[in-house]
Structure 1
Amino acid sequence: MTDHSALPAGLAIRTIETPSLGDRSYVVHDGDVAFVIDPQRDIDRILEILRTDAVRLTHVFETHIHNDYVTGGFALAQATGAAYLTNADDNVEFDRTPLHDGDTVQIGDRMRVRAIHTPGHTFTHLSYALTDDAQPIAVFTGGSLLYGATGRPDLLGPDHTDALARHQHHSAHKLTHALPDDTEVYPTHGFGSFCSATQSETAQSTIGQEKRSNRALTQDEEDYVRDLLDGLGAWPAYYAHMAPTNSAGPEAPDLSLPESADPAELRHRIETGEWVVDLRTRTAFAAGHAPGTLNFGLDGSFSTYLGWLITWGTPVTLLGETAADVALAQRELVRIGIDRPAAHATGEPEQWSLDAPVSFPTATFADLELVRHHRDIVVLDVRRTEEHTAARIEGAVNIPIHELPRRLSDIPPGELWIHCAAGYRASIAASFLHVAGRTLVAVDDKFENAAKAGLHLVGPEA
């Protein structure tokens, strides 16, 4: 959580980071009353801030019907009695306070929030400008104007992408015309979220800074649209389930531990096609794991890749070294709408299986360079297509990790050396292929070391 103190005296903006999804939520208050922008599903984090700061929540705002996570807005409003505000044109199944472009909401004695229609990420997207004593001081831009970028316009389908990209350009300019240069910008997306069209390392910004650095504001419409659309890659498959869930008004999640499972039950779940997921690091998993288990480590983009690869509705059982690990995984999963694991187990692989643990080797790119001269191997690159196209090991086969479960038969025969950009996705892929009976080595190394090791790279960025 970040506290923004460079504000008028008495006002506070608390930033709640969800780095696993690349999103931020905001709690804003004047020491007495508060409002929230784009709350994540696990609302206990927000309730704790309200208790700690001793403020009363009166309003919950959504910038848009989110495509990348399940909102906590409806549940938070229900729990606190706060008004829940969304665009009047959003087709939702719950009672809310509808907002139109230009509507202003008074919160406490000092804070006023003005809705600004900023379509582009979605058609009904709203940004919210905060004024204190009639002076604009901040704007909460959701998936519209991000730091050095904008939200992607393709999540509603290809029929709308071009139109939304043009809306996004117009909306960025609308914000700069409506607000002073020193207005602080607080986006929801853009910190690793796939909802962002591009990524930025910037941690904070203002309208004036964005005028100088954001290509939506430095390029003309045609150049911006062309470059934006050319740079779009795949987005996680679970996104398709988020907007319908959010439009229905999701309830608060149950974060209590699921039932525990013994080795016999775990084997049964694996044999019936359920996912039994080992949450440990890729190093620990490679060294020894229960047969048939899959590796999605908590030390990486756990929920993003699990949600991307799984067939929606497949039961998930979680294996963690501690109950705290399982609880953290549950928290990550409820944020994308996987509400209740089927079961869990804690401890070590020896406690999770009726059979002895199994393992597979790991290596570096230097090892790969050495071995390719001595025996026939297949180099499998599981990075996204755009990463592979930009720079790749000559002769490598590319099957992006999110396509792997349904494309196992497309992988050539032979000994596999699996790599990605840093090792996390390679371990996920290795776990699937190990279950499939393939002979493999997982490359646990940064791709930047491939050329240093002497491997021949091709591509425009090689």
Structure 2
Amino acid sequence: MDVVVIETPQLGDRSYLVHDGTVALVIDPQRDIDRVEAAATAAGVRITHVAETHLHNDYVTGGLVLALKHGADYLVNADDHVSFSRVPVTDGQVLHIGRLSVRVVATPGHTHTHLSYVVRDETHDGGTEAVFSGGSLLYGSVGRTDLVSPHDTAALAHEQYASVRRLASQTSPDAALYPTHGFGSFCSIGPASHQETSTISEQTASNHALTDANEDHFVAELLANITAYPSYYTHMSPLNAAGVGPASLDVPESVDAEELGRRLKAGEWVVDLRHRVAFADNHLQGSVSFEYGRGDNFTSYIGWVIPWNQPLTLLGPADEVEQAIRDLERIGIESPDTAVGPEPGALAPDSQRTSYPHGDWSLLAKERAPHDVVLDVRRPEEFEASHVGGALNMPVYELLGRMAELPEARTWVHCATGYRASIAASLLDRAGRNVVLIDARFKDAAGAGIETVP
């Protein structure tokens, strides 16, 4: 048995191609299935089965399209209410895929109908098992339990506690563990580990879901760690239950200068993908900054900040536009328009250009006036841990709906690294506010003489 890992760091997820050298099972594929197909071609195997651990809340699955394209069986929990044909599977069922034995294990918690899959090569008695745990048992923690309904959160946390223990007890200690979430995904919760590989025995010794003997204590700790998650999650599970068609990854022809100018004047969402400092120095008035290529924040935050299902135009260099289209297709934002080019002024020469100042903490220390506002756009738990004295906290994902609460004053915007602050600064600039971007790490503020509390 061989396991090929297909990573999607933009969403903190992994998909898997599991094969015996001839036939393959794919688990939790992303919507851009060409990466899975390339892995299968490289391994010289045929995809005969595609399995979902659950109806995903953080991305649109490519499972249905992949299964239909390859004539593969599509394994989905029999209890999931879906609008397409699938091969229904249930707890305890064992499937045979070439030399592979695949045992289905019910692991409710992340969702009511969550499944895990335990895979073993039948030709090797006692051979190492592989456990594909989706959003159940993760490295260091478990999948969050508040994505189904606020009323179900506590009950699902109790189910999560029982499920991961059942899963661990039904697999061999040396079984390799392959979760889908937990690599930066907002679907994980609690003290998730940054390790790249693990086994059931390692998790039994270190994962708080398996080491905490008090179920009520574990549940209370889990619920206390629940934080906000991207607003686009609301749309993912219904889309996956309905069945979504193939991703469209082609870059459309650029809109012309007149049309781009019209969209800017009409207040449509024109997203500039360039570096945040380049944007601050010179951008088309009315556009917003979602810097592409620095870290893995783009997909989550654009789906979180910009209202769902709004017309979108991506502005930037060809390679970044192409990758951004792929990223957006993964979360159901389909076929955005584009304006491709390295310099926005050339794309809409008759449109007004503008800028706003930016700098590090020393600029704030030197130029902050008494009535200026320091706006911290980090998450509330980050703000509570430490913040600039006198700062206001408004998470970037709440800014559009709460901007009227801010005083009409020069506003210095910061976050932990500058990325979220650049989004917020562009939104404020778009609204005609007097804004300064603090493009610096929050941990450097005190060293620059900025008072931080506590």
Task: Please classify the TM superposition score into its range, dividing by the shorter chain length.
Answer: over 0.9
Q: Give the C-alpha shift of residue 195 in structure 1.
A: 0.4
- Aligned to 2:105, the other structure's residue is in SS state strand
Give, in angstroms, the shift of residue 285 of structure 1: 1.0
Larger mean CA deviation between 29-38 and 134-143 belongs to 134-143
What residue in structure 2 maps to residue 386 of structure 1? 381
User: In 2, Cα distance between the equivalents of 1:50 and 1:41?
Assistant: 16
Which of 100, 103, 110 is matched with 1:121 structurally? 110
Letter in 2 for 1:42: D
| Superposition deviation, residue 371 in structure 1 | 2.7
Structure 1 partner of 2:23 = 33
1: distance between equivalents of 2:344 and 2:150? 45
> Is 1:184 equivalent to 2:183 in the alignment?
no
The counterpart of 2:243, out of the listed 249, 252, 258, is 249
Letter in 2 for 1:262: D
The equivalent residue for 1:239 is: 233
Q: C-alpha displacement at 1:150, in angstroms?
A: 0.4
Answer yes or no: is 1:23 the counterpart of 2:18: no
Identify the residue that residue 49 of structure 1 maps to in structure 2: 39
**How many angstroms does 1:375 deviate by?**
4.6
1:319 matched to which residue of 2?
Answer: 315
Q: Does 1:258 align with 2:247?
A: no
Alignment of 1:327-366 (within 5 A): 327-353=322-348, 354-366=350-362
Per-residue CA deviation, residues 210-266 of structure 1 (Å, 9 max, x unaligned), is: 111111111121111111111111010000000010001111111112231122211
- Match of residue 131 from structure 2: 139
Letter of the aligned partner of 2:365 in structure 1? E
Find the counterpart in structure 1 of residue 65 from structure 2: 75
**Distance (Å, rounded) in 1 between the aligned partners of 2:362 and 2:103:** 57
Q: How far is the alpha carbon of 1:438 from its aligned partner?
A: 1.2
What is the aligned-residue RMSD (CA, Å)? 1.3
1:192-203 to structure 2, matched below 5 A, reads 192-198=184-190, 199-203=192-196
For 2:360 and 2:320, how far apart are their aligned partners in 1?
28
Whole-Å Cα distance in 2 between the matches of residues 115 and 176 of structure 1?
A: 14
The residue identity in structure 2 corresponding to 1:397 is L
Contact kept, 8 Å, 1:150 with 1:196, in 2: the verdict is yes
- Aligned residue type for 1:52: A
Separation in structure 2 between the aligned mates of residue 48 and residue 366 of structure 1, nearest angstrom? 49
Say if 1:94 and 1:248, in contact at 8 Å, map to a contact too: yes
Q: Which residue of 1 aligns with 2:162?
A: 170
Distance, in Å, in 2 between the alignment partners of 1:218 and 1:385 is 29
- Structure 2 counterpart of 1:430: 425
Q: Is 1:443 the equivalent of 2:432?
A: no
**Is the CA contact 2:254–2:337 (under 8 Å) kept in the aligned structure 1?**
no
Query: Closer, same or farther in 2 for the Cα pair 1:276/1:423, shift >3 Å?
Result: same
Report if aligned partners of 1:262, 1:345 keep a CA contact under 8 Å in 2. no
Distance in 2, Cα, partners of 1:208 & 1:49: 29
* Residues 419 and 444 in structure 1, CA contact (< 8 A), matched pair in contact too: yes
1:147-181 CA-to-partner distances (Å, cap 9, x unmatched) read 00100000011100000000010011111111111
* Residue of structure 2 in register with 1:270 after alignment: 264
Q: Secondary structure at the match of 2:146?
A: coil
Q: Across the two proteins, how many residue pairs are aligned to each other?
A: 446
Contact 1:25 1:39 in 2 (8 A): yes
Aligned-partner residue type, residue 357 of structure 2: P
- Report percent identity of matched pairs: 50
- The one-character-per-residue Cα deviations of 1:2-23 (angstroms, maximum 9, x if unpaired) are xxxxxxxxx3211111101000
Alpha-carbon distance between aligned partners in 2 of 1:451 and 1:46, rounded to the nearest angstrom: 46
Q: Is 1:206 paired with 2:199?
A: yes
What is the identity, as a one-letter code, of the residue corresponding to 2:207?
A: N
| Shift of residue 356, structure 1, vs aligned partner | 4.9
CA shift at 1:303, angstroms?
1.4
Query: Residue 394 of structure 1: CA displacement?
Result: 1.3
Separation in 2, partners of 1:258, 1:407: 34
Q: CA deviation at 1:453?
A: 1.9
Task: Name the SS of the counterpart of 2:378 in structure 1.
Answer: coil
Distance 1:67 1:30 in 2: 30
Cα distance in 1 for partners of 2:256, 2:245 equals: 31
Helix, strand or coil at the partner of 2:345: helix
CA contact (8 A) 1:290 1:352 kept: no
Shift of 1:273: 2.9
Residue equivalent to 2:452 = 457
Q: What secondary structure is seen at the aligned counterpart in 2 of 1:351?
A: helix
Tell me how far apart the structure 2 counterparts of residues 365 and 212 of structure 1 sit (CA, whole Å).
43
- Pair 1:104-2:98 in alignment: no
Aligned amino acid, residue 386 of structure 2:
A
Q: Where does structure 1 lack aligned partners over 5 or more consecutive residues?
A: 1-10
Secondary structure of 2:432's counterpart equals coil
CA distance in 1, matches of 2:237, 2:351: 42
Larger deviation: 295-304 or 59-68? 295-304
**Paired residues of 1:141 and 1:188 also in contact (CA < 8 A):** yes
Return the offset for 1:125: 0.3
Query: SS state of the match for residue 146, structure 1?
Result: coil
CA deviation after TM superposition for structure 1 residue 369, in Å: 2.6
Quick one: which amino acid aligns to residue 125 of structure 1? H
Q: Partners of 1:369 and 1:187 in 2: how far apart?
A: 45
Residue in 2 aligned with 1:6?
Answer: none
Deviation at 1:378, TM superposition (A): 0.6
Aligned mates of 2:308, 2:435 — CA distance in 1: 28
- Paired with 1:331 and 1:355, the residues of 2 have a C-alpha distance of 28
Q: Deviations over 1:78-113 (max 9, x none)?
A: 1111110011000000000001001111011x2111
Q: Any gaps of 5 or more consecutive residues in structure 2?
A: none
Distance 2:446 2:218 in 1: 33
